[in-house]
Amino acid sequence: MDRGRGVARRPKLAARYRVWIATIRAAIGELVAATVRVRKQGKGTFVSLHGQQRNIYQFFHVNRRNATMRIDDTLKATIGELTRPGKGILAADESQPTITKRFKALGIESTEETRRNYRSLLFTAQGAEKYLSGVILFEETLGQNSDDGTALPEVLTRRGILAGIKVDKGTTPLPNAPGDLITQGLDGLTERLQAYKTHGVRFAKWREVYGITDRNPTALGIKANAEVLARYAAICQQEGIVPIVEPEVLIDGDHSIERCHEVSGAVLHAVFDALHRHRVILEGMVLKPNMVLPGNKSLSKAGPEEVATATLDVLRRNVPAAVPTINFLSGGQGPEDATANLNAMNAMYPRAPWVLSFSYARALQDPAMRAWGGRAENVPAAQKIFCHRVRMNALARDGKWTPEMERAAPVAT
C-alpha cells in the first residue's frame, strides 16, 4: 500500500488554510473515521494522502474563514449544462404504475413496447432540443433503444440534452406519523448510481411528498423526509451526480394558498437544515419544489401574480442564494397554468438569485400524450404539440411568454 506523503502539522495547516486549530483537529478525526490513514508525529499530526498531492478540502468540508466551499468540478460542469439560458428539464420518469395509469386514462395499453414508442416520440421530437437541457428517465428507459437501434439515453446526449434518472423507489406510510409518507430507496443507492453512470447519466431525482390536511404533514414527517432527501443528495454528490432535490407539497385538497405557503415554508426550511447537516454542496444541486397554490378542491383560485408572489416569498425566506437553479414540478396544474405561473415569476422577479425554470412531467406531456393516443400515425402531430409546450415554457423561463402565443398552438387532427 502506498504510504502517501505527509502534509504539515496542525498549527501549520491551520495557518495555511486560515481555519481554527479546532477545525483541523475535528477534520483529522473525520479522516480517521473515514479510514484515511493519519499518522501522529511528535506534537503535530500529519495526514497520509496516498501518494496524491490533494487539497485537504477534498476529504472533508472545512468551512474556511471568509472563503467559499470548493465545488466539485464534475458537479459544476453538470450544473453549467443544466442551467443553460432558455432551457429547462423534461421529467419523463414516470414509474411503471404511474405511466400505466396515465396511458389507461387515454385508452392506451401499457407494455414495454408502447412505453418505448412513447418515450422515443418525446426524445426524437425535432426542435425540442433547443429548449431542453436535461431529461429525467425511469430505469426501464435506460435499457431501451429508438427505432434505429440507438440507446435512448444516447439519443438525448447526441442532441446535447443531459440524461438524468429517478432513483427513489416510491413512498410508504411513515410509522407514528399518521397520514404522512416517506420515500424509500437509499439501500444500495451508491452501487445503482455507479451503474447508471455507465449509461451516461449525469444527474438524479428523488421525490418526497407531503399531503396537506389539518394535521399533515406532521413535525415528524417534515423532519424525517428532509433527512432522507439530504442523505440521497449527499450520496449523489459523492458519486459526482447532481441531485435534484424534490420536496413536493401536494396540490390535493381544499386548503388555501396561505396553508400551502405555511407548509411549503416549513418543508423547505427543514430540507435546507438537513442539507446543511449532511454537508451537501448547495452549488451542486437542483431544487425542484412545488409552486405555492390553493388546493385543487379549494373554491378560491389564484392567478399567476398571486402564485408568483406567494412562491417567491417562501423561496426567498428558505432557499439559500447559493442554490443555482430552481426547476419547478407542475404538480397537477393545467399545462397553460404551469406556463403562466412560471412566466409571472420570471417577469416579476428578474433579479431572483436563482434560475427559475421548469422540470415538468404532466404540464409538458399531457397534450402530446393525448394527441398520440398510442397510434403511430399520430407521432408527428404529437411531436409538434410537445415542442410547442416546451417552447412556451422556455419563454416563460425568461418571462417572455404571452397568452397570445398559445393561439398559434398546433392542434391535433
Is the CB of 31 or the CB of 364 nearer to ligand 13P? 364
Cα–Cα distance between 173 and 103 in angstroms, integer? 26
Is the CB of 56 or the CB of 337 nearer to ligand 13P? 337
In the complex, minimum distance from the CB of residue 360 to ligand 13P, in angstroms, rounded to a whole number: 4
Is the CB of 332 or the CB of 353 nearer to ligand 13P? 332
Reduced to 3 states (helix: H, G, I; strand: E, B; else coil), residue 240 is coil
Is the CB of 360 or the CB of 401 nearer to ligand 13P? 360
Is 336 one of the catalytic residues? no
How far, in Å, are 95, 172, 250, 297, 315 from residue 260 at the CA level?
26, 22, 9, 13, 13
In the complex, minimum distance from the CB of residue 164 to ligand 13P, in angstroms, rounded to a whole number: 10
Point out which residues bind ligand 13P (CB under 6 A): 91, 207, 246, 329-331, 360-363
In the complex, minimum distance from the CB of residue 358 to ligand 13P, in angstroms, rounded to a whole number: 8
Q: Catalytic pick from 288, 306, 336, 400? A: 288
In the complex, minimum distance from the CB of residue 95 to ligand 13P, in angstroms, rounded to a whole number: 9
Is the CB of 257 or the CB of 361 nearer to ligand 13P? 361
Q: Catalytic pick from 246, 384, 400, 404? A: 246
How is residue 174 annotated by DSSP? Answer: P
Is 246 one of the catalytic residues? yes
Complete DSSP assignment for 40-102: EETTEEEE--TT----GGGTS----TT-PPPPPHHHHHHHHHHT-TT-EEEEE---HHHHHHH
Burial of 212-246, coded b for 16+ CB within 10 Å and e otherwise, reads beeebbbeebbebbbbbbbbbbbbbbebbbbbbbb
In the complex, minimum distance from the CB of residue 338 to ligand 13P, in angstroms, rounded to a whole number: 7
Q: Is 161 exposed, middle or buried (0-12, 13-18, 19+ CB in 10 A)?
A: buried
The residues annotated with a catalytic role in the active site are 246, 288
